[in-house]
Amino acid sequence: MELKEIAKDIYACLQEDRGFGWNNAGFVNLGGGLAIDTFYDLNLTRQMIKLYKTISPEPAQRLVNTHHNGDHTWGNQLFKDAEIIAHRLCAEKMKEEKKINLPAFLLSGQQNPKAFPSKLKPFIDAMSEFDFSGIEITLPNHLFEDKLDLDLDGYPCQLIYVGPAHTPGDIIVYLPEHSIIFAGDIVFRQCTPVGWEGTHAKWIEALDLVLSFEPEVVVPGHGPLCGVEGVKELRGYFEFVYSEAKRFFDEGLDPLEASKKIDLGSYTKWNEPERLFFNVNRAYREFRNVEPWDAPYNAINLFLKCQELRVHWDGK
Ligand SMILES: [Zn+2]
């Protein structure tokens, strides 16, 4: 974990992308302190807060969640006195995960793997470095719809809704004075993106909005810092995968078969290229044009299909 100053008073808290759940966060040391996202478990989030304390001894007065996924929000409880800001649909999804107590489910999988079907082992293994004990999903207490302007002691900060792209409640944090964007999971850098709910069109629109600001620095949700080149590369990936998926959809192949046929070229160098399956599967949902953008899905089954794709590639 590294705290990197990207402009005066603006910090990115970076974790090396090692697969699912290794995300980035941020801190703006103005206006009482604004934290952007948390990490996946309490230990990692405590380490992050410790780093922020080296900048400012007082706890951040505000926390923004860029979207609901646990890697970005399951440390919220450690900001208990803060104003926690998110999009309304981010809060809705967090409520659903709180209701089923998703952290406890994952924890039980780690503690008692034998009680889980053996086919789930790769999924549980992928989470093995996180400690899901003690997590109480803590909902945002300040919701907004399209845009929220924050005044950090005269320093402008814009929260802009760009979903549903990666999830229903995606937002970006734009700091116009320094031309910096904390993109949340709208930008994955040198690692394969995952589309959950949302649409291809909205994700492209979100990337185009990021590009329209001509940011100097983009803090991706996952992977190293970048400028506009990283955003363009991701846009290129989506356009490529979408058109390839359409070709194989028209030929009648299922999403896994299509994923096996797609030649990823240089995109195979991105971490976890097998997550291609998520994107192909989501494209197929759009081509069928029957299910809504937030149609229910079984995340574990999708993950296991990615593993099948990996095994297929490894066997070639
Ligand atoms: Zn993420």
- CATH no. for residue 15? 3.60.15.10
Residue 300 lies in a domain: no
* Residue 176 pLDDT grade (very low, low, confident, very high; cuts 50, 70, 90): very high
The encoded tokens of residue 172 equal: 């970006």
Is the entire prediction scored with pTM above 0.85?
A: yes
- For residues 254 and 113, which has the higher predicted lDDT (pLDDT)? 254
40 CA distance to ligand 1 centroid (A)?
9
Query: Residue for token digits 């399209």?
Result: 146
DSSP string, 184-219: EEEEE-SB-----SS-HHHHHHHHHHHHHT--SEEE
209: pLDDT strictly greater than 90: yes
30 CA distance to ligand 1 centroid (A)?
25
Determine whether 308 is exposed, middle or buried from the number of CB atoms within 10 Å of its CB (0-12, 13-18, 19+).
Answer: middle
Q: How far apart are CA 17 and CA 97, in angstroms?
A: 24
Residue 282 lies in a domain: no
The encoded tokens of residue 27 equal: 């801190």
Residue 301 lies in a domain: no
229: pLDDT strictly greater than 90: yes
Confirm if 80 and 62 have CB atoms less than 8 A apart. no
In percent, how much of the chain has pLDDT > 90?
Answer: 92
Residue 257 lies in a domain: no
pLDDT at residue number 199: 97
Which residues lie closer than 8 Å to 68 by C-beta, 6 or more apart? 86, 89, 90, 91, 93, 94, 97, 167, 168, 169
E-strand stretches of the chain: 2-7, 10-14, 25-28, 34-36, 62-64, 83-87, 142-144, 147-152, 155-161, 171-175, 180-188, 217-222
In percent, how much of the chain has pLDDT > 70?
Answer: 100
Q: How far apart are CA 23 and CA 187, in angstroms?
A: 11
Residue 212 lies in a domain: yes
Which residues lie closer than 8 Å to 316 by C-beta, 6 or more apart? none
User: Following CA atoms 5, 10, 15, 20 in sequence, which dihedral angle do they give, to the nearest 10 degrees?
Assistant: -160
Which residues lie closer than 8 Å to 9 by C-beta, 6 or more apart? 28, 29, 30, 155
pLDDT at residue number 154: 98
The encoded tokens of residue 217 equal: 């620095």
Q: Which domain holds residue 203?
A: 2-251
36 CA distance to ligand 1 centroid (A)?
12
The encoded tokens of residue 121 equal: 């082992």
93 CA distance to ligand 1 centroid (A)?
14
Q: How many CA atoms lie within 13 A of 131 on its CB side?
A: 7
- Which residues are paired to 5 by β-bridges? 11
197 CA distance to ligand 1 centroid (A)?
13
Q: Which of 284, 221, 217, 170 is nearest to 20 (CA)?
A: 221
Average pLDDT of the chain is: 96
Residue 306 lies in a domain: no
299 CA distance to ligand 1 centroid (A)?
14
72 CA distance to ligand 1 centroid (A)?
6
24 CA distance to ligand 1 centroid (A)?
8
The residue type found at 188 is: F
Residue 199 lies in a domain: yes
State the average pLDDT over residues 199-217: 98
Structural domains counted in the chain:
1
Confirm if 72 and 51 have CB atoms less than 8 A apart. no
Q: How far apart are CA 293 and CA 282, in angstroms?
A: 9
* Residue 72 pLDDT grade (very low, low, confident, very high; cuts 50, 70, 90): very high
154 CA distance to ligand 1 centroid (A)?
30
The residue type found at 263 is: D
Residue 261 lies in a domain: no
125: pLDDT strictly greater than 90: no
